Structure 1
């Protein structure tokens, strides 16, 4: 299969998986605190990856561990907690929309810090997609005026983290297998996740006897294995197959899936948001052209 075909297949799969992640976070928060969710998400995904791919750690060169460690914290560990805290105040669909700022951050950081070039069409594409994202945010605030949009800043910080991460992967880890990168990343952050979990009060009697705990753990297990571990492998492969801006364009299509889940869960949105979703897709197509 040609790389051009693989890129689009990976983009579609990631859009569905990560678009569903936001509703899973929302459901998991019904029985877990944000610290517990972020820690357990990392721990479940890390354990799964180490079981199936421990031998891959031997293929990582000593000089590559520095960048894998940095990538692990800014691309996985920190955003896991930021998204959990953000969704305590804003709808899951809105969180996914705000995440659409990642491509423009990727473009700017790639040019400024990593000397990665971009074309005029790519620039137009991320701008068009970003306009669609802001339109979604505006219309969402009209429908849900009581939401605390200060927490939107946490999503924007995550977008900057993702933008740094995708450029690091492209610049410094291009020749490392996507599977090895992912296993290496989680081997680095699994111990910090355990420490956060212990300090979060998860093992207290009140938490362990809560009726909402175990349904939340079920949602979280799906999120960790499919939405984090397997999706990370796929995303790292996508970065190596394509340009950083195209890879980060998955954040344009994620909100469409997230909006559908939000609607099914009773979250309110308007027809204007559907129109904005179409604008976002146009941005993806433009950023794809060279």
Structure 2
């Protein structure tokens, strides 16, 4: 046990937490709209983080706030809404599998925006991963005609934002404490979240008195406390003690956890979709595999 690297412990814990987030989103949507869910999740997470580490804000240098804001919107604010919207049409298990594109998009954004050179093996991993993604989406649309698989594009967009965020943290926020990054993120995005809640009629009596709302609220609280607040701090730490690609490879294990939850909730996957899932994960593996030193 003493030889286990801390980064692997962070990776496993994050996989369990985030792998369970997809089913929590699904359950929360029973009593909330996607906009209400995304905004409430952001607000509750902000409150939790402020209670724990509001003093961290004073330790953030002024020149870091532009990157703190970018990290907040790309890594937390917009994805919270994108995943909620996507899961109104596609299963939670499918959303988790598509989320595995984060490491591949980390490589692409690192190459095109941050000038981080990629190897031929990584490029091949990207190609394999995206072929698997295409198969997964088209097969899902074929066997689930009642689901609009164009909504999978919302998840793909979120993975691009996550990839940008992880590169920003590694490149520009390496010297900021993980809790400070998280608290700073939500100090920026909590006000827009409150405004969205107001404009979605969230505070109407008819909404607050609904039994479905009360049930959804329990799931959102759990999602905000563990799936966002705690996980956000752990992930920031993981990025700082490892590499962007290693940190984003948490998506290796997340689909396994999410698939188990999905199966327990009555979701299913075809043989072709399972093969596509293996292709995506193999692509992620190729993109993370390093050459052995001579």
Fold shared per TM-score above 0.5:
yes
Give matches, 1:41-190, under 5 Å.
41-190=41-190
Bigger shift: 127-136 or 198-207? 127-136
Moved more, 192-201 or 270-279: 270-279
Are 1:82 and 1:155, in contact at CA under 8 Å, matched by a contact in 2? yes
Q: Kindly report the root-mean-square deviation, in angstroms, between the aligned alpha carbons of the 2 structures.
A: 2.2
Deviates more, 1:232-241 or 1:279-288: 279-288
Q: CA deviation at 1:122?
A: 3.7
Give the corresponding residue for 2:21: 21
Residue deviations 1:25-54 (CA, integer Å, cap 9, x gap): 110010011111011100111100110111
Q: Which residue of 2 aligns with 1:223?
A: 223
1:173-212 equivalences in 2 (<5 Å): 173-212=173-212
Q: Take 1:115 and 1:187, find their aligned partners in 2: how far apart are those partners? A: 30
Equivalent pairs counted in the alignment come to 290
1:76/1:209 CA distance change after superposition, 3 Å: same
Q: How big is each residue's C-alpha offset from its partner over 1:79-122, in whole Å with a ceiling of 9 and x where there is no partner? A: 11111111111111112222222222211111111122334444
Shift of residue 129, structure 1, vs aligned partner: 4.2
User: What is the CA–CA distance in structure 2 between the aligned matches of 1:108 and 1:130, rounded to whole Å?
Assistant: 12
Query: What CA distance in whole angstroms lies between the structure 2 residues aligned with 1:256 and 1:65?
Result: 36
Contact 2:46 2:190 in 1 (8 A): yes
Note if contact 2:57-2:180 (Cα within 8 Å) is conserved in structure 1. yes
Distance (whole Å) between structure 2 residues aligned to residue 165 and residue 4 of structure 1? 27
Change in CA separation of 1:50 and 1:273 when aligned onto 2, cut-off 3 Å: same
Preserved CA contact (<8 Å) 2:104 2:284:
no
Q: Could you list the runs of 5+ residues in structure 1 that have no partner in the other structure?
A: none
C-alpha distance in 2 between matches for 1:240 and 1:138? 37
SS at match of 1:37: helix
What is the CA deviation profile of residues 229-260 of structure 1, one whole-angstrom value per residue up to 9, with x for unaligned ones? 11111111111122222222222332222121
Matched residue SS, 1:212: helix
Contact residue 100 and residue 284 of structure 2 kept, 8 A: no
Contact persistence 1:130–1:280 (CA under 8 A): yes
- Mean Cα displacement is larger for which, 140-149 or 167-176? 140-149
Paired with 1:97 and 1:201, the residues of 2 have a C-alpha distance of 33
Partner of 1:11: 11
Q: Are the counterparts in 2 of residues 144 and 268 from structure 1 also a CA contact under 8 Å?
A: no
Structure 1, residues 193-219: CA drift from partner, whole Å, max 9, x if none? 111111110111211121101110000
**Contact in 1 for aligned 2:100/2:281 (Cα 8 Å):** no
Shift of residue 143 of structure 1? 3.2
Between the aligned partners of 1:255 and 1:201, the Cα distance in structure 2 is 34
Shift of 1:268: 2.2
Report the secondary structure of 1:203's partner residue.
Answer: coil
Alignment partner, residue 289 of structure 1? 289
TM-superposed CA distance for 1:172, in Å, is 0.5
- Kept in 2, the 8 Å contact 1:97–1:137? The answer is no
